[in-house]
Amino acid sequence: MTRVVSLFLPTWSTDRARRKAGDAAPPPEAPLVLIGRDGNRRIVLAADAAAQASGLRSGMPVTKAQVLVPGLIVEDADPAADSEGLERLAVWILERIAPVVAPDPPDGIVIDSSGADHLHGGESAMLDGLIGRLAMSGIAARAAVADSWGAAHALARYRTRSAIRAAPGHGPSVIASLPLEALRLPSSVSVGLRTLGFERIGDLLEQPRAPLALRFGPEIGRRIDQALGDLGEPIKAIRPPDLIEVRQAFAEPIGAAETIARYIGKLVVQLCERLEERGFGARRLDLICHRVDNRAQAIRVGLAVPVRDIKRLSRLLCEKIDTIEPGFGIEVMTLAATIAEPLERKQTTSSLVEESLPDVSDLVDTLINRVGERAIYRLAPVASDVPERSVCRIPAMAAETGASWPGHWPRPTRLLPQPEPVETMALLPDQPPVWFTWRGIRRRVKRADGPERVFGEWWKRDAELAAVRDYFRVEDDAGERYWLYRAGDGEHVATGSHRWFLHGVFG
């Protein structure tokens, strides 16, 4: 099923202007407008969130805006730079989210996310992650995912939530309550419809099409059909100029899985030849199948390391053939290395007797493309004495961080997300518990080792200036081993509450 994301950037022009200014940009709370000319008049073309909150809108005369908001920051608009920036942002999203991405001027981007959401933890996680990353870059955004471009476009712009997910197979009810403007109708048509008493999209859905088409032309029916998914709306995907890409057109449309697999193999050979010419390996492949009904089916394959192996790339792509819906046939197939990196030939062994390390990147690639990149990771040490800060997740095939694992005291194989309080009986100040109760079960301590004293990181957090934890490794009478600590040194209140917590489990 087709799923489309519409990304709405309500203050794109002013956000881009602030990013361009860098450290010289005005503070976010300072109202900013971008202006241009309409004949002999100077008018507001874009207003940031602070300016909009003060009542300023696009099309307003600049003199009026300056009277309404004393101290208003006024700068010249640059529509050409806005358009170029939108294209660069679309390429950035293409490399990270989905294979089919296109600018939706003047303030949006459209994404065909069919089959790509599982790589990001699902549709909701995909939207939240995209909006969050843009927010960190100083770009305000709202996004919606639906079964059609028209529905997603309407939801992103006329709902107030930042992320909206319409369930797959949704009906017209998701857009029925939205205003007429959500259909992307010309303003003259919207005004005419309101004159007749139509206010919402649902009002139009209840009416026969013929009288509306007779008076306003076919545009209303076309936009309704696009929003409902009854009429295809092809997305013209953006392609970076330096993209390594190969293409295969067919005299007769194809649709059988075996035929698709055969041509995937041919395209991979051609792509690897082009990669070899540049000394690159593919880190991400996008296969786009253009159907005869002007719709595109895309599959994406990610790789842990740069790869130029024909068999390996073909296998990963062919594993996803069952997600392609050929419809009435595929007339063009395009294979692109969306992310390519230099590939150096490495010697696997340094001597005749040395055993080479096993290459697990092929296994990692298979798992990533089945369950998503976020689900496959490894743990790496972090230079910190505080246990919950001493480890982090990194990509499965990432380079070593340079930090080493602590070796002076054993660490549990499982660290709880949060230390859990336990009831104990212990002899203060330096004795381990005699027994402790965790999750409703009392456990008698048979053996114990400790304490291992951990001090707070006072150079990071003022509250940890005097903080102390005393950790003990204990074994109960059932042979289970646990990692407990007392908050504080057992004597001074300033070092902690002297309560006991269970922080990890061994084995």
DSSP string, 254-270: E--HHHHHHHHHHHHHH
Least reliable range by pLDDT among 404-413, 446-455, 470-479: 404-413
Mean predicted confidence (pLDDT) in 95-103: 92
Q: Which range has the worst mean pLDDT, 128-142, 339-353, 464-478?
A: 339-353
Cβ 109 vs Cβ 83: under 8 Å? no
Q: What mean pLDDT comes out for the span 281-308?
A: 90
Pairing mode, strands 41-47 and 468-476: unpaired
User: Which residues does residue 248 pair with via DSSP β-bridges, in sequence order?
Assistant: 333
**Average pLDDT of 375-382?**
82
Of the candidate ranges 174-183, 254-263, 267-276, 366-375, the one whose mean pLDDT is the lowest:
366-375
Residue 222's pLDDT is what?
Answer: 95
Q: How far apart are CA 240 and CA 262, in angstroms?
A: 27
Q: How is residue 60 written in tokens? A: 């307003």
Calculate mean pLDDT across residues 338-359. 66
* pLDDT of res. 431: 82
Q: pTM value?
A: 0.73
Asked whether the predicted pLDDT for residue 318 surpasses 90, the reply is yes
Res 343 pLDDT > 90 = no
* Position 429 confidence tier, pLDDT thresholds 50, 70, 90: low
pLDDT at 149 over 90: yes
For residue 501, give both structure tokens.
């917590």
Is residue 400 over pLDDT 80?
no
Domain 244-342 belongs in CATH node 3.40.1010.10: no
% of the chain surpassing 70 pLDDT: 95
Residue 347: its pLDDT value, please? 56
Task: Report the mean per-residue pLDDT for the chain.
Answer: 90
Residue 153's pLDDT band (boundaries 50, 70, 90)? very high
Please, are residues 370 and 323 in contact by the beta-carbon 8 Å criterion? no
In sequence order, the β-bridge partners of residue 450 are none
- Cα(114)–Cα(101) distance, rounded to whole angstroms? 12
Report pLDDT digits (tens) over 4-61: 999 999 999 999 999 999 888 888 899 999 999 999 999 999 999 999 999 999 999 9
Token code pair at residue 2: 């087709």
SS3 sequence of 482-507: EEEEEECCCCCHHHCCCCEEEEEEEC
Helix (H, G, I), strand (E, B) or coil at 363: helix
Q: Pull the structure tokens for residue 338.
A: 């969306």
Each residue's pLDDT tens digit, 189-221: 999 999 999 999 999 999 999 999 999 999 999
pLDDT for 354: 53
Domain residues of the chain, as ranges? 1-237, 244-342, 414-505
